A and B are shown apart, each in its own frame.
Chain A
């Protein structure tokens, strides 16, 4: 049974860096792409980017200048860093496993609130 467990700071001030980590429990970490997707309160989903253990990483152009997604194969973990956050970055952030150009397994979500 695949399980994605995520954690990270839930409250940030403007200009700080958002940092989240997602651990994967099932042993098939290397076979998939791993995405971060966010959802502002009451709004729709937004794909941030994805990364593969091979190093291939793709970002949504809306975030390219301030996002880093990385994978640690030894720990089966995926990380998200988003710099210079503003109130517009307030959202629930999800990690998700990519397969067949969709996401069949999701983390539980981490609410990140940006406020001064």
Chain B
């Protein structure tokens, strides 16, 4: 059971928009920055979003994210087949040991 809650799967057609939610509590999302990671099949995770809503260089602006209270949301617009991947949210949890990261269980995105 993951500390952060994500839907197991989402799906949408190419060109459409999809959102992935990440729910936590006041000790993690509510009090810390959230980052999002994309894991393409058979590869390592890749940073997609950091500090709630910032994109690293090279990440298309089709990817965006926001945080409100104890929840965060990743949005992908103009879906492409290459976006099919697992997406994870992550942050630190102040109720655990210092610098203790927690992740969501991951959401599998299927582009129909």
Report whether chain A binds chain B: no
Residues of A near any B CB (own CB < 8 A)? none
Residues of B near any A CB (own CB < 8 A)? none
